[in-house]
Amino acid sequence: MSDERETMRRVRAPGRVNLIGDHTDYTGGLVLPFAIDRQTTIDYRPADGIRLRSVDEAEPVAFDHRQPPQPGTIDSWGRYVAAVVAELGPERGLDGVVETTIPIGSGLSSSAALEVAVAIALGFDGTPIELAELCRRAEHAATGVRTGIMDQLCIAAATEGHAALIDCHSLDITDVPLPPPSEVEFVVRFVAGRTLEGSEYDTRVAECAMAEELIGPLRLADLDAVAAIDGPVIRSRARHVVSENRRVRDYADALAAGDLATAGAIMVDGHRSLRDDYATSIPIMDAAVEELMATPGVLGARMTGGGFGGCVVAMSEPGTGLDGWPVVPVAGAGHVSET
């Protein structure tokens, strides 16, 4: 007789790359990421208590699902698991194995993929937005960094073949079709390992809050309002956010018009804004973007994600043969099969 406890199940959750719209999500702005064909999987059986081991990490994770440890007391990947369990309060645990093809600590949202996969494997029952909000809270509890909703929502809700234009205020998602690989290639190039913990990420969040005290919500502000801000640092930060929201719309419009040259130029503008106004790039990322832009066939390139290291993303003509990981847009997370 088959019992639910005997059934192996598999959950998958992809990583993400952001094409344009960085450091806009936590002020309710616009972002345009897509879920990539690199993923975290959990093969598991429902069980009493949490028992997870990872193919990629030394430490296994084991605790009572009714009494998850404080994430801050765990040093390893287990803190993300504990934080999701604490947020979800699942009725059961699981016994399983985690495996990932998302490079860890490279800015492709390996932690958000783990959170989303764990929540689904533990029986999360709600909308993709609710799933993303729960996992964002878990991320905050695990890391203490006040990240936005982009990573978790893209991973929870992406549509195959599309980027997700997310309004991070309303949480409305518009699927934006991406040209097929026969027309354009997206390549992610790893530049430097990083973690947002201990970075200036939270400083940027605070600087945006200061700007909003002066001129109101940045998602509604225009560049004239920004120009009236006295302090040069806060003015620069606000200028990035306001101009970046514009770039997301312009990039989506350029894609819709099939104008890849304009889309590529917008990516480079976005990189310069993150470098000069937002100060989240680092010299080797700037050098990588310069090098890519000097390569025949490359249409656009920029740092992607939180910055301070991580990856750059390039958009190129097919057959350009860039070093890096070619990525294609896949569907968001879910159960994949029952074996």
Q: Which residues are catalytic?
A: 151
How many residues sit close enough to ligand GLA to count as binding (CB under 6 A)? 11
Amino acid identity, position 181: P
- For ligand GLA, give the closer residue by CB, 22 or 277: 22
- For ligand GLA, give the closer residue by CB, 278 or 325: 278
Cross-strand bridge partners of residue 128: none
Per-residue string for binding with ligand GLA, 278-317, x by CB under 6 A? ---------------------------xx-----------
- For ligand GLA, give the closer residue by CB, 9 or 23: 23
Q: For the stretch 244-277, what's the b/e string if a residue is b when 16 or more beta carbons lie within 10 angstroms of its beta carbon?
A: bbebbebbbebbeeeebebbbbbbbbbbebbbeb
- Which one of the spans 16-24, 87-95, 179-187, 223-231 is the region binding ligand GLA (CB under 6 A)? 16-24
- For ligand GLA, give the closer residue by CB, 19 or 254: 19
Strand pairing category for 33-47 and 93-100 = antiparallel
User: In angstroms, what is the minimal distance from the CB of 171 to ligand GLA?
Assistant: 13
C-alpha span between 168 and 95 (Å, rounded): 35
The helix (run of H) or strand (run of E) holding residue 154 is helix 150-157
- Are 40 and 332 in contact, with CB atoms under 8 Å apart? no
Tokens coding 24: 């806009």
- Which one of the spans 50-58, 146-154, 230-238, 293-301 is the region binding ligand GLA (CB under 6 A)? 146-154
Q: What SS3 class is residue 121?
A: helix
**43, 95, 133, 151: which one contacts ligand GLA (CB under 6 A)?**
151
User: In angstroms, what is the minimal distance from the CB of 132 to ligand GLA?
Assistant: 10
207 binds ligand GLA (CB under 6 A): no
133 binds ligand GLA (CB under 6 A): no
- Measured in whole angstroms, the distance separating CA 42 from the mean position of its chain's CA atoms is 19
State residue 272 phi and psi, 5-degree precision: -60, -35
22 binds ligand GLA (CB under 6 A): yes
User: In angstroms, what is the minimal distance from the CB of 28 to ligand GLA?
Assistant: 12
**28, 90, 148, 332: which one contacts ligand GLA (CB under 6 A)?**
148
Is the four-CA dihedral 183, 310, 274, 128 of positive or negative sign? positive
- For ligand GLA, give the closer residue by CB, 88 or 166: 166
90 binds ligand GLA (CB under 6 A): no
C-alpha span between 235 and 225 (Å, rounded): 10
- Are 29 and 220 in contact, with CB atoms under 8 Å apart? no
User: In angstroms, what is the minimal distance from the CB of 305 to ligand GLA?
Assistant: 4
**10, 15, 19, 25: which one contacts ligand GLA (CB under 6 A)?**
25
332 binds ligand GLA (CB under 6 A): no
- For ligand GLA, give the closer residue by CB, 93 or 309: 309
Question: How many angstroms separate the first and last alpha carbons of the chain?
Answer: 15
- Of 112, 189, 184, give the one whose Cα is nearest residue 328: 184
Binding site for ligand GLA (CB under 6 A): 18, 22-23, 25-26, 147-148, 150-151, 305-306
